Structure 1
Amino acid sequence: MTTTNTEKTISPDQQPPKMPGALPLLGHMLEFGKNPFDYMMRLRNTLGEIGEFRMFHQKMVLMTGPEANEAFFRAPDAQLDQSQAYKIMTPIFGKGVVFDAPPHKKDQQLKMLMPVLRDKPMRGYAQVIVQEVEEMIANWGDTGEIDLLEFMKELTIYTSSHCLLGDEFRYELNEEFAKIYHDLEKGVNPLAFVFPYLPLPVFRRRDKARARLQELVTGIIAKRAQKTEKSEDAFQLLIDATYDDGSSLSAHEITGMLIGTIFAGHHTTAGTAAWTLLELARRPENMAQVLDELDTHFGVDGEVTFQSLREIPVLESVIKEVLRLHPPLIFLIRKVMQDFHFKDYTVKAGKYVCASPRVSHRIAEVFPDPEKFDPDRYSDARQEDAKPYSWIAFGGGKHKCSGNAFAMLQLKAIFSILLRRYTFELINEKDSYQDDFTQMVVQPLSPCRVRYVKRKNINEQAAESIAQPDGQESRQADYGFTIQIDKELCQGHATCMTEAPELFQVDDAGNLTVLQEQPQLDLLFKAQQAEKYCPTKAIKIKLN
């Protein structure tokens, strides 16, 4: 329960309350390391929405709940620095790349990758993902058993590399790239947060894999230079990209950014995909609802497209509920560069502040009965995630994961095929499937065995076209509307421009312009579609 101070005045420089029980040298590291989520829940229940604990010598401040999350995500980089907190990734991405780059350079590097995540290329990814799923299950037969997490890891590395990196990584370097990626992935070890260059075997393998990948990247760059036809993947974008001063990226920088692209598109998605199937297998009633929606919408062989994947709200709500209960990143970190104020408290420069999606998603005042798996939370009637910064599975603010739209597209495309072909059953007791908190990116404990069974008698009746809600036309006739843009949240995906080109323009640099201050009423539906599908929720449509 959140603590309050109603009988005394707190100084503006009041430090956040401290968690008791710190050990000499270790601080709270032993308790935190055992189960970070349990420890952070205990901290919130003891101290409220803000509280301090210690990991070795480092002072950490945990902030949870919508108001605390908003303060955390909206703080400027000069005050809360993301880069300083993620030096753990420097040996993997490389020195001078992304989190290790100066702020102005990091921003340019991230913008170079945005075109592959914008609306137009995204429309071609659905077919690629479908192809990968069909190939993976082509030899399954009528029934069998798999390690679900390992299957999803393999599938999502294929889908991500095929969509984002290009054919060389998907086909020519398939096995070697998989091994390299595995060694890099294992290098994301909690020890690296404090001691990233310890002479441990896991870190040696990480560094060897990083060097080998750069060799491969250099070779592919040379081969592509000989071709007359250019690819349209992230790799080619980086080869062609230049900084503001006109200089090109080095092979070292391209390698690091490609690694970052795949980490964002694979690392978290594999665990979420596995948990989606596990939660549905635990709950036949939810599984039946999803299957009914997919069968009705697609039939047996209905085409899976960018647009058709938008029209399966039951599955989307299931995925959102999985991400509420099992967010892959259970805490996000920033270093305090300038004193940071939240309500009556001041967090001094030099400390670290953390937000925790997993803890914030279990606050009963925001999500009633928070331990219950309940996809109806996101229905139009309830909208429990409507309060800003309450549901933060993809982060929030200007640092919200730019790949969130790709992640949702990937997950929905996978299940639109997989669940129409097979049903899934748990092999072990349902409560034995738990999160593995020993990993930096939380996934189900391995092994994670399930049984698949080929489906029969799939409903082939296609869904009728989705009509506009009753009364929409009359509301358009009665009211005007205005468009509000939160430019801090906009990342330049250009989805709004695709939905309503009459109202929105996004230039090549990702800058958004609203074309009409007082739009005509017949554009209201298009404006609402742009609001609905904006990946970062930067658009608000207000009826006058």
Structure 2
Amino acid sequence: MGSVEGAAPVRRPPRMSANPARRVLSDLAAEWRGRGRFPPGPGDFSWARTHQVAHDPLPLLLGAYEEFGPIFSMRLLHTRVVFMLGPEANHFVTVGAPENFHWRESSFGDLIPLLGDGLLTVDDEFHDRARAIMMPAFHRQQVAAAVAVMQTETAAAIASGLRVGEVVDFYAWMRNLAMRIAMRALLGLDPDEAGRGAAAAAHFERALHFFGIDYGLRLLRGPGTPWRKLLASRRVLDEIVFAEIAERRANPDPGRGDVLSLLVAVRGEGGEAFSDREVRDQLMTLMFAGHDTSTSTVTFLLYELARHPAVAARLREEQDRVLGGAPPSAEQLESSLPYLAMVVDEVLRLYPPAWIGPRRAVRDFEFGGYAVPRGAYVNYCSWASHRLPEVFPDPEAFVPERFTRERKAALPRGAYVPFGGGQRVCIGKRFGLTEVKLVATMVLQQLRPDALPGRTMTIRQMPTLSPRGGLKIRLRLRS
């Protein structure tokens, strides 16, 4: 199960302990080694501060930026954490000096029990080798091949789940649709199939639930805990995925366009292939990274259109002129609907799903006149950076015109980073944007979202930005 003919032997990344006590001791030791060398900020223990970062971090981070500047630190639970905000900070972490940081030893390491050694949880040569092998699976033509799946699933979901005049939880609707698209386009399974397809969808949702609960609950071990439920779902998912991999290897079919088949067949420049374990880990990572992010982005897009009918009207005019009521093609989504691209960019500015970029410093470094010690937790934050008024005037307003081609090109480097940057920019960016634009377009070709009076939306942060408690809207027949 761990090798394949033609696969070169690959060293495994260093193991990470899932034991919370060991992690705490390691963090305390790292802070002790770096004592006295942290950027300014509150160093006392504060449960209120820790709770706010977990539930409403934006005011706290923007307030600290105003007080301390683009780099500061604060104690969260048992350890001191460094935050870096603003264009220069984002560029430094993602492009300017990425060699200073690892992902695996940061809070991304919490994902290893489900994702294994996927792109989000490996560094250096482990990451570079895997990314090079995977790139062909995300070329333009491969994404275009997935559009048919997206169109079919979206049309069926609209017909069965969005009824004119009714109030609907659009977040729940979109979450189910995104899972169906992921099952078919990534895993090659039919979610309606009573066997593997339905089981994979159900257990992946159960596994994702673990990362959305409070951190304290995630630390619990023993029978009946969320941790044990995560492990149980992982076992089922492993059985399904490894069985699918074995079938793809035994019966290769170049006509299958799902990402799993491509990962099994693809070879690197030297002819090396992924082992079964590597295919499994990369597939789980892609599903984790793509499912929640697409769900949240389309949901927030509908939320803003319901609040800004003039923007929605301009979007419909562009759709009618370019598409004439037909489903959009991959080429049209990428280059023929510029106002749609501006709307999506503005949604991702206000609500970047991957709102924080966790890192661990692997060497001492300096930024903004302050030293940061090796072993420190370091986070850049696109959510806060995208709301700095000196970069985006009137930052709380929804203004798609910020992202005309000329104005977007004039932004400082590092100002707009919803997909990260540098060599580790999101590998599924094209796939994700295509899905978001296609679903939004097909919904808006038939329906018009109306905000419900008196309802306010609050946001939860984990595992990605999403509306807490879903998003209730009323859908009208498009006029």
Name the TM-score class by shorter chain: 0.7 to 0.9
Q: Separation in 1 of the partners of 2:280 and 2:133?
A: 14
For 1:257, which of 282, 285, 293 is the aligned residue? Answer: 282
Query: Residues 83 and 196 from structure 1, CA distance in 2 versus in 1: closer, same or farther, beyond 3 angstroms?
Result: farther
Amino acid at match of 1:435: I
- Counterpart position of 1:185: 208
Mean Cα displacement is larger for which, 163-172 or 419-428? 163-172
Query: Residues 317 and 334 from structure 1, CA distance in 2 versus in 1: closer, same or farther, beyond 3 angstroms?
Result: same
Instruction: Tell whether the 8 Å contact from 1:269 to 1:411 is kept in structure 2 after alignment.
Output: yes
Structure 2 spans left out of the alignment, 5+ residues? 1-34
- Match runs of 1:364-375 below 5 Å: 364-375=389-400
Amino acid at match of 1:393: P
Q: Tell me, yes or no, if structure 1 residue 59 matches structure 2 residue 59.
A: no
Q: Tell me, yes or no, if structure 1 residue 378 matches structure 2 residue 403.
A: yes
- RMSD after superposition: 2.7
Q: What number of residue pairs does the alignment pair up?
A: 439
- Counterpart position of 1:123: 144
- Counterpart position of 1:284: 309
- Match runs of 1:128-527 below 5 Å: 128-139=149-160, 140-168=162-190, 171=193, 173-189=196-212, 198-199=221-222, 201-227=225-251, 229-230=253-254, 231-241=256-266, 249-300=274-325, 302-309=326-333, 310-380=335-405, 382-383=407-408, 386-429=411-454, 432-437=456-461, 439-456=462-479
Q: Separation in 2 of the partners of 1:88 and 1:453?
A: 42
Instruction: Tell whether the 8 Å contact from 2:137 to 2:263 is kept in structure 1 after alignment.
Output: no
Mean Cα displacement is larger for which, 205-214 or 67-76? 67-76
- Counterpart position of 1:534: none
Q: Separation in 2 of the partners of 1:58 and 1:253?
A: 33
Mean Cα displacement is larger for which, 137-146 or 406-415? 137-146
Amino acid at match of 1:414: V
Instruction: Tell whether the 8 Å contact from 1:214 to 1:251 is kept in structure 2 after alignment.
Output: no
Query: Residues 333 and 435 from structure 1, CA distance in 2 versus in 1: closer, same or farther, beyond 3 angstroms?
Result: same
Query: Residues 369 and 141 from structure 1, CA distance in 2 versus in 1: closer, same or farther, beyond 3 angstroms?
Result: closer
Instruction: Tell whether the 8 Å contact from 1:14 to 1:345 is kept in structure 2 after alignment.
Output: no
Instruction: Tell whether the 8 Å contact from 2:134 to 2:266 is kept in structure 1 after alignment.
Output: no
Instruction: Tell whether the 8 Å contact from 1:217 to 1:251 is kept in structure 2 after alignment.
Output: no
1:236 CA displacement: 1.5
Instruction: Tell whether the 8 Å contact from 1:142 to 1:454 is kept in structure 2 after alignment.
Output: yes
Query: Residues 379 and 169 from structure 1, CA distance in 2 versus in 1: closer, same or farther, beyond 3 angstroms?
Result: same
Amino acid at match of 1:53: M
Q: Separation in 1 of the partners of 2:286 and 2:49?
A: 33
- Counterpart position of 2:24: none
Query: Residues 23 and 281 from structure 1, CA distance in 2 versus in 1: closer, same or farther, beyond 3 angstroms?
Result: same
Query: Residues 244 and 47 from structure 1, CA distance in 2 versus in 1: closer, same or farther, beyond 3 angstroms?
Result: same
1:411 CA displacement: 1.0
Q: Separation in 2 of the partners of 1:247 and 1:27?
A: 51
Amino acid at match of 1:358: W
Q: Separation in 2 of the partners of 1:147 and 1:194?
A: 27
For 1:68, which of 89, 98, 108 is the aligned residue? Answer: 89
Instruction: Tell whether the 8 Å contact from 2:103 to 2:121 is kept in structure 1 after alignment.
Output: no
Mean Cα displacement is larger for which, 376-385 or 289-298? 376-385
- Counterpart position of 2:30: none
Amino acid at match of 1:93: L
Instruction: Tell whether the 8 Å contact from 2:207 to 2:234 is kept in structure 1 after alignment.
Output: yes
Q: Separation in 1 of the partners of 2:199 and 2:278?
A: 20
User: The residue matched to 1:89 in structure 2 has which SS?
Assistant: helix
Mean Cα displacement is larger for which, 363-372 or 384-393? 384-393
Q: Tell me, yes or no, if structure 1 residue 50 matches structure 2 residue 71.
A: yes
For 1:80, which of 101, 105, 108 is the aligned residue? Answer: 101
Instruction: Tell whether the 8 Å contact from 1:331 to 1:355 is kept in structure 2 after alignment.
Output: yes
Query: Residues 194 and 244 from structure 1, CA distance in 2 versus in 1: closer, same or farther, beyond 3 angstroms?
Result: farther
- Identity among equivalent positions (%) equals 25
Q: Separation in 1 of the partners of 2:90 and 2:118?
A: 27
- Counterpart position of 1:481: none
Mean Cα displacement is larger for which, 171-180 or 324-333? 171-180
Instruction: Tell whether the 8 Å contact from 1:14 to 1:346 is kept in structure 2 after alignment.
Output: no
Query: Residues 187 and 75 from structure 1, CA distance in 2 versus in 1: closer, same or farther, beyond 3 angstroms?
Result: farther
Mean Cα displacement is larger for which, 264-273 or 71-80? 71-80
1:15 CA displacement: 4.3
1:220 CA displacement: 1.9
1:343 CA displacement: 3.2
1:255 CA displacement: 2.4
User: The residue matched to 1:371 in structure 2 has which SS?
Assistant: coil
1:185 CA displacement: 0.7
Query: Residues 428 and 154 from structure 1, CA distance in 2 versus in 1: closer, same or farther, beyond 3 angstroms?
Result: farther
Amino acid at match of 1:369: D
Instruction: Tell whether the 8 Å contact from 2:203 to 2:237 is kept in structure 1 after alignment.
Output: yes
- Counterpart position of 1:23: 45
TM-score (norm 1): 0.75
Q: Separation in 2 of the partners of 1:332 and 1:424?
A: 32
- Counterpart position of 2:126: 105
User: The residue matched to 2:88 in structure 1 has which SS?
Assistant: helix
The C-alpha deviation readout for 1:363-407, integer Å capped at 9, x for no partner, is: 111111111111111124543763211011111111111111211
1:305 CA displacement: 0.9
Query: Residues 402 and 274 from structure 1, CA distance in 2 versus in 1: closer, same or farther, beyond 3 angstroms?
Result: same
The C-alpha deviation readout for 1:468-496, integer Å capped at 9, x for no partner, is: xxxxxxxxxxxxxxxxxxxxxxxxxxxxx
User: The residue matched to 1:386 in structure 2 has which SS?
Assistant: coil
Query: Residues 101 and 355 from structure 1, CA distance in 2 versus in 1: closer, same or farther, beyond 3 angstroms?
Result: closer
Instruction: Tell whether the 8 Å contact from 1:213 to 1:255 is kept in structure 2 after alignment.
Output: no
Amino acid at match of 1:182: E
